[in-house]
């Protein structure tokens, strides 16, 4: 029976709890804001009132039988899944739950190397063994693409004992692989298909958007509703198709890392975001798409900038393209994407999603306006006039094909010692090194540190990128394995 998607059960239960003037002798200790005037002044009395503890009235996230369970069922139906889990630890925890539910220690999982660090951390937690597929690479822009169906088929045939294949839909740059065909091949070998859709919530509702993983037959999908769906930061969803997966086992996996103090602000935001997407999602995503295309056309008119578009589609490693990822190559301007991000922030008070050596990216979503798009276009026009030089930058790729020595889990728990990062070439890394955002490791535990990786990290740091991962917060040293 079709559910009533106009309902928002968590929101209604929370609202009633406050309207009933319930007296709190439980946590949180700020007692609806009365115990912290500074906090109340900063975020508002209403927000403090709704920051409450779990109870029978408003259900328990770790063992939902009431309004949270009702909200999960509504979420599953809205996205075409059999089950859904509301996540308050971000999509990081959803990705880790997918991998841990699909693979036991020592079992193989096929995945592209340009995954988010959460996927490799999932390998450390689960003990699963990675079998990497190299994504396509666009050397002109210095970016990694999707994965080729032929490469997937070959890798599956060479590793028929793998338990799952992991796909990104879309990538940070908006690039989508041929998930439908990959699902068909994987299922022939009884492999699960796991999809990281941190940047893909809106795909399920846009009229002319690429399809979402659930629509294409995937078994599990991890979605950041907070990124493109309208919920609060850190709130996400894990979608499950029950045909090959036990949802009760998935919940047990989730509960390993789920906080027992789940935020009802986050849970309610998921409930309301789902309601809005069902009611107005098509209209809102279509509007975001129109704004992105408008921005693309206006920026192209400036000259010098190359804006990624659907013209990149090649039917394989770029099977489809999400135009709401406004990705812009700045090599002809003579700046790096890192520098563009700093200039836009410091001189024009404009924040971008991220920049790399050659490109920067803005996310166009439900809350954007044409006025703000025009301010971005004007800033880019001004920057070109101020900064463009005759010295064109050669593309420097962030994706560097690694040599894997041992599994991430083995490396993470192995004996290590620090060495100067500049002198680490040839050693096996015991930790991550990455530019953040996007959080895709340039070096991961168990990989041989290459000269190219060292040079890219040094270059990125010089251009203003935040380098994360190493224990040494100065990034002067990196932990290597001691045999």
Shared-domain flag, residues 256 and 374: no
List Cα–Cα distances, 234 to 168, 226, 270, in angstroms. Answer: 19, 7, 10
Shared-domain flag, residues 288 and 263: no
Instruction: Say whether 317 sits in a helix, a strand or coil.
Output: coil
> Could you tell me what percent of the chain has a pLDDT over 90?
90
> Could you tell me what percent of the chain has a pLDDT over 70?
98
pLDDT (tens digit per residue) in 107-133: 999 999 899 999 999 999 999 999 999
Domain boundary among 356, 387, 418: 387
Shared-domain flag, residues 136 and 247: yes
Residue range 221-248: mean pLDDT, rounded: 98
Shared-domain flag, residues 254 and 300: no
Question: Which range has the worst mean pLDDT, 19-23, 213-217, 329-333, 437-441?
Answer: 437-441
Shared-domain flag, residues 144 and 240: yes
Kindly indicate the confidence band of residue 478, based on its pLDDT and cuts at 50, 70 and 90. very high
Domain boundary among 215, 247, 277: 277
Shared-domain flag, residues 234 and 288: no
- Predicted pLDDT at 199: 97
Instruction: Look at residue 394 and tell me if it is in a domain.
Output: no
Instruction: Give the CATH number, domain containing residue 334.
Output: 3.90.1150.10
What's the number of domains the chain is made of? 3
- Predicted pLDDT at 251: 98
Instruction: Say whether 404 sits in a helix, a strand or coil.
Output: strand
Sequence-distant (6+) residues with CB within 8 A of 251 are 85
Shared-domain flag, residues 187 and 295: no
As a whole number of angstroms, the distance between CA 144 and CA 408 comes to 21
Instruction: Look at residue 245 and tell me if it is in a domain.
Output: yes
Q: Which domain holds residue 470?
A: 403-481
Please, where are the H alpha helices in 189-263? 225-228, 247-257
- Predicted pLDDT at 197: 98
pLDDT (tens digit per residue) in 146-199: 999 999 999 999 999 999 999 999 999 999 999 999 999 999 999 999 999 999
Token look-up 């239960």 returns 13
Instruction: Tell me: pLDDT of 219 over 60.
Output: yes
As a whole number of angstroms, the distance between CA 470 and CA 422 comes to 14
As a whole number of angstroms, the distance between CA 223 and CA 248 comes to 19
Q: Which residue has the higher pLDDT, 377 or 437?
A: 377
Shared-domain flag, residues 263 and 296: no
Kindly indicate the confidence band of residue 373, based on its pLDDT and cuts at 50, 70 and 90. very high
- Predicted pLDDT at 390: 67
Sequence-distant (6+) residues with CB within 8 A of 308 are 141, 173, 174, 321, 325, 327, 328, 329, 359
- Predicted pLDDT at 123: 96
Shared-domain flag, residues 102 and 127: yes
Instruction: Look at residue 2 and tell me if it is in a domain.
Output: no
Give the mean pLDDT of the chain: 95
Shared-domain flag, residues 416 and 368: no
As a whole number of angstroms, the distance between CA 239 and CA 257 comes to 17
For residue 465, what are its two tokens?
Answer: 């990128």
In this structure, are residues 42 and 304 in contact, taking their beta carbons and an 8 Å threshold?
no
Residue range 101-106: mean pLDDT, rounded: 96
As a whole number of angstroms, the distance between CA 20 and CA 46 comes to 14
Residue range 423-440: mean pLDDT, rounded: 92
Instruction: Tell me: pLDDT of 465 over 80.
Output: yes
In this structure, are residues 95 and 116 in contact, taking their beta carbons and an 8 Å threshold?
yes
Strand (E) positions, 364-454? 403-404, 416-420, 433-436, 441-443, 447-448
As a whole number of angstroms, the distance between CA 412 and CA 392 comes to 40
List Cα–Cα distances, 42 to 29, 36, 38, 429, in angstroms. Answer: 17, 10, 6, 43
Kindly indicate the confidence band of residue 451, based on its pLDDT and cuts at 50, 70 and 90. very high
Instruction: Look at residue 396 and tell me if it is in a domain.
Output: no
Sequence-distant (6+) residues with CB within 8 A of 412 are 124, 430, 431, 445, 446
Instruction: Give the CATH number, domain containing residue 255.
Output: 3.40.640.10
Residue range 50-74: mean pLDDT, rounded: 96
Q: Is 428 left (phi over 0), alpha (psi -120 to 50) or beta?
A: beta
Instruction: Give the CATH number, domain containing residue 441.
Output: 3.90.100.10
Instruction: Look at residue 395 and tell me if it is in a domain.
Output: no
Instruction: Look at residue 418 and tell me if it is in a domain.
Output: yes
Residue range 31-60: mean pLDDT, rounded: 95
- Predicted pLDDT at 397: 64
Instruction: Look at residue 1 and tell me if it is in a domain.
Output: no
Dihedral over alpha carbons 311, 315, 316, 322 (to 10 degrees): 50
Instruction: Look at residue 192 and tell me if it is in a domain.
Output: yes
Please, where are the H alpha helices in 9-89? 9-19, 37-43, 45-49, 67-79
- Predicted pLDDT at 398: 61
Shared-domain flag, residues 301 and 250: no
Token look-up 């692989």 returns 177
* Beta-strand pair 164-168/192-197: parallel
As a whole number of angstroms, the distance between CA 218 and CA 195 comes to 7
Shared-domain flag, residues 69 and 158: yes
pLDDT (tens digit per residue) in 384-417: 999 988 665 555 666 677 888 999 999 999 999 9
- Predicted pLDDT at 330: 96
- Predicted pLDDT at 396: 60
In this structure, are residues 437 and 353 in contact, taking their beta carbons and an 8 Å threshold?
yes
Sequence-distant (6+) residues with CB within 8 A of 42 are none
Domain boundary among 277, 311, 332: 277
Report the alpha-carbon angle 256-125-433, nearest 5. 125
């Amino acid at each position: 029976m079709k559910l009533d998607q106009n309902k928002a059960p968590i929101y209604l239960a929370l609202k009633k709890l406050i309207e009933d003037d319930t007296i709190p002798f439980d946590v949180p200790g700020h007692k609806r804001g009365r115990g912290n005037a500074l906090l109340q002044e900063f975020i508002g009395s209403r927000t403090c009132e709704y920051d409450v503890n779990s109870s029978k009235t408003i259900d328990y996230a770790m063992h939902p039988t009431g309004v949270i369970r009702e909200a999960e069922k509504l979420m599953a139906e809205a996205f075409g899944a059999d089950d859904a889990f509301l996540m308050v630890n971000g999509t990081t925890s959803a990705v880790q739950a997918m991998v841990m539910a699909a693979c036991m220690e020592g079992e193989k999982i096929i995945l592209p190397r340009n995954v988010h660090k959460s996927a490799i951390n999932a390998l450390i937690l689960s003990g699963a063994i990675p079998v990497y597929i190299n994504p396509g690479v666009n050397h002109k822009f210095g970016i990694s693409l999707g994965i080729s169906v032929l490469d997937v088929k070959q890798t599956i045939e060479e590793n028929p004992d793998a338990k799952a294949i992991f796909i990104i839909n879309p990538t940070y740059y908006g690039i989508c692989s041929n998930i439908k065909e990959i699902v068909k091949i994987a299922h022939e070998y009884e492999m699960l298909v796991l999809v990281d859709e941190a940047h893909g919530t809106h795909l399920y509702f846009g009229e002319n958007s690429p399809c979402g993983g659930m629509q294409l037959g995937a078994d599990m999908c991890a979605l950041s509703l907070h990124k493109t769906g309208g919920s609060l930061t850190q709130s996400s969803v894990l979608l499950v198709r029950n045909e090959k997966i036990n949802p009760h086992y998935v919940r047990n996996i989730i509960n390993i890392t789920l906080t027992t103090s789940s935020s009802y602000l986050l849970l309610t935001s998921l409930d309301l975001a789902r309601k809005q997407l069902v009611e107005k999602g098509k209209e809102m995503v279509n509007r975001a798409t129109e704004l992105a295309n408008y921005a693309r056309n206006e920026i192209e008119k400036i000259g010098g900038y190359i804006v990624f578009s659907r013209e990149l589609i090649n039917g394989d490693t770029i099977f489809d393209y999400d135009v709401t990822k406004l990705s812009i190559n700045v090599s002809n301007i003579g700046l790096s994407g890192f520098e563009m991000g700093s200039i836009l922030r410091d001189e024009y008070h404009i924040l971008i999603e991220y920049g790399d050596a050659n490109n920067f990216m803005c996310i166009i979503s439900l809350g954007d306006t044409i006025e703000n798009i025009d301010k971005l276009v004007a800033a880019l026009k001004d920057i070109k006039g101020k900064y463009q030089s005759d010295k064109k930058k050669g593309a420097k790729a962030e994706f560097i094909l690694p040599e894997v020595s041992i599994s991430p889990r083995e490396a993470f728990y192995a004996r290590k010692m620090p060495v100067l990062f500049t002198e680490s070439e040839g050693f096996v890394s015991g930790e991550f090194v990455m530019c953040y955002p996007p959080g895709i490791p340039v070096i991961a535990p168990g990989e041989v540190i290459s000269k190219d990786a060292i040079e890219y990290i040094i270059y990125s740091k010089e251009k203003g990128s935040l380098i994360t991962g190493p224990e040494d917060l100065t990034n002067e040293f990196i932990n290597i394995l001691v045999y």
